[in-house]
Structure 1
Amino acid sequence: MALPEIKARWEQYKPHLVHFGTTFIARCKSDNITISAGHLAYVTLLSLVPFIMVFFTILSAFPAFATVRNELEQFIFSNFVPTAGDVVHEYMSDFVGNASQMGAVGILSLLLVAILLISNVDKTLNRIWRSQSDRPIIYTFAIYWMVITLGPLLMGASVVMTSYLVGLAEFAEEYTPGLGTFLLELVPSFTALAAFIILYMLVPNRRVPVVHALGGAVLATMLFELSKKGFALYVTSFPSYQVIYGALAALPLLFLWIYLSWIVVLLGAEFTCSLSEAFPEEVKDKANDSDLPEG
């Protein structure tokens, strides 16, 4: 592409880029994403044990995933709860083990608490998109149930695929040293990217273009990886929280990490909405039409 064409494209999209930047900042301020993230973090902390229990209960119903449960737990806690993953994993395993001894009424109550988390995420994202989340009750229940049932299956399938890639990486390591390890390190990032795309496309009660959802998912994935590194650096370099909280140090750390994660999720959602406002599909259509030869 020649320099005059680049300048012409820049002049064409410059107003939209400026509008996008101002819209993104204004949306983040008006939606109070820090307050929303705090609310979601509190609900997540309350729903974490019920959700994990329902998660693994559904996964255990499929014998094909029975052998990868431990690998799945290690994959989740090592890649999505940095540094303190082992401690949190130990506590979560104890909590889930105690909850698994409950009766049918107790299991049902845990399921309702897990649905409460999904409902709050649904309402928060629809508020960001300025859309009503008042879907028909049957449709809403179907979506929530799909998240609860298909989520474990997709995670189990991803871990099975990761185990397969580990075998390939060990084989490829003999011929291309370092390549297999590099590709395996990208698996959590691609898993998070796919999860963000699905979240931004399916949860809002309106049509979200794939390109816009991809843009928000890329931003959220990058921020998520940076947050993991920054959080791990804080935990290892400034261990004063252990002196203050002692044996309960894992709890505030977990809450802080969940809070940072929800801020990342909401920033990606605001980014996706701002893209939809600054670059509506008709702009893209006009740009495509302008490339067509006249006559």
Structure 2
Amino acid sequence: MKKPFISKVFVRKISVEVRRIYRFFDQQLIYAASLSFYTIFALIPMLLIFFSILLSFPQFQSEILELKELILSNLLPTNTDTFSQYLDAFLANSSKLGTMGLVYVLVTSILFFRNFEYVTAKVFNSSPRKFFDSVVVYWTMITLFPVSLALSIYFSGEVQRVLNDVADFSMLYKALPYLITWAMFFVLFKISANKVLHFFPLLLSSLGTTIVWLITKWGFVYYVFYNQTYKSIYGQISILLFLMLWIYVSWIVILSGMRSCEGFMSNFGKKLEQTFGEVKI
């Protein structure tokens, strides 16, 4: 009589876990779709702000081209040249935006960050920041991020010139773009969570997100390269479709990484503190 009871309990637990996992992924897909919608509207205005900040620093002029290629290759792994032409045309006309154009840039940026704040608060189970605090945090990030990225590219070039003939360090230089991506996810997770995070769960979740995102990027490039159906049906519009699809997939990976960080925190935070000591940031 006990075996059926045990089997029923086991099946009930499995069904509960399956429903929990289903709700988790269902929510992630909804959140990713919401962020993708606002990202499409805010992408060009944010890139305008991004490059305008860099252009104000004459010492970074030589790094702008390399920086633009880096950003576009991550935003759209395929058809980067075509999208770059569209972006150059828009940036060339940015001086003609006028008052309404500036209002559009401001409104789309605020809408995106408010949506991002709401979603990340749900993912990290934290309270969302107040409106003013949110604007200050994310506007500071927009201002400092392009400068930090340009500095990293500049110093990477200097390191390459100095250590170009040393085999051991040349391997480290090849791994530098991946380390920068890891650092970007690490900082993004830390800023997004409006609460104290344990160092090791944050480090591991950002590393896992980096690996999954890079593998996904490789798979996306492979899929677009071998699937010519979209180009034959939609023509040049397929570039926009691929951009929207890649943004959506990227948000799924990023939000899943944030959720894994929260999972590490809630399930293994105390054990990690006992093993490695209390390290919070």
* TM-score under structure 2 length normalisation: 0.84
CA distance in 2, matches of 1:216, 1:28: 21
Equivalent residue number for residue 226 of structure 2: 237
Aligned pair partner of 1:130 in 117, 125, 129: 125
Give the stretch that moved more between structures: 107-116 or 244-253. 107-116
Structure 1 position 144, deviation (Å): 2.0
Instruction: For 2:145, give the aligned amino acid.
Output: G
Structure 1 position 204, deviation (Å): 1.3
Structure 1 position 32, deviation (Å): 1.1
Give the stretch that moved more between structures: 240-249 or 60-69. 60-69
CA distance in 1, matches of 2:214, 2:27: 23
Instruction: For 1:212, give the aligned amino acid.
Output: P
Q: Deviations over 1:153-191 (max 9, x none)?
A: 11211221232244246x32xx53x973x4444232112
* Cα distance, 1:288–1:33 mapped onto 2, change above 3 Å: closer
SS of the equivalent of 1:125 reads helix
- Identity percentage of aligned residues: 27
Aligned pair partner of 1:167 in 148, 161, 164: 161
Alignment of 1:1-295 (within 5 A): 26=21, 29=24, 32-135=27-130, 137-168=131-162, 171-172=164-165, 176=167, 180=170, 182-281=171-270, 283-287=271-275
Structure 1 position 105, deviation (Å): 4.1
CA distance in 1, matches of 2:44, 2:273: 47
- Report if the CA contact (8 A) 2:117-2:129 is conserved: no
Instruction: For 1:231, give the aligned amino acid.
Output: F
* Cα distance, 1:249–1:179 mapped onto 2, change above 3 Å: farther
* Cα distance, 1:284–1:210 mapped onto 2, change above 3 Å: closer
Instruction: For 2:272, give the aligned amino acid.
Output: K
Instruction: For 1:249, give the aligned amino acid.
Output: S
Instruction: For 2:126, give the aligned amino acid.
Output: S
SS of the equivalent of 1:56 reads helix
* Cα distance, 1:127–1:288 mapped onto 2, change above 3 Å: closer
- Report if the CA contact (8 A) 2:200-2:272 is conserved: no
* Cα distance, 1:69–1:104 mapped onto 2, change above 3 Å: farther
* TM-score under structure 1 length normalisation: 0.80
Structure 1: gaps of 5 or more residues: 1-21, 290-295
SS of the equivalent of 1:162 reads helix
Structure 1 position 247, deviation (Å): 1.6
Instruction: For 2:46, give the aligned amino acid.
Output: F
Structure 1 position 286, deviation (Å): 4.3
- Report if the CA contact (8 A) 1:131-1:206 is conserved: yes
Structure 1 position 54, deviation (Å): 0.7
- Report if the CA contact (8 A) 1:193-1:218 is conserved: yes
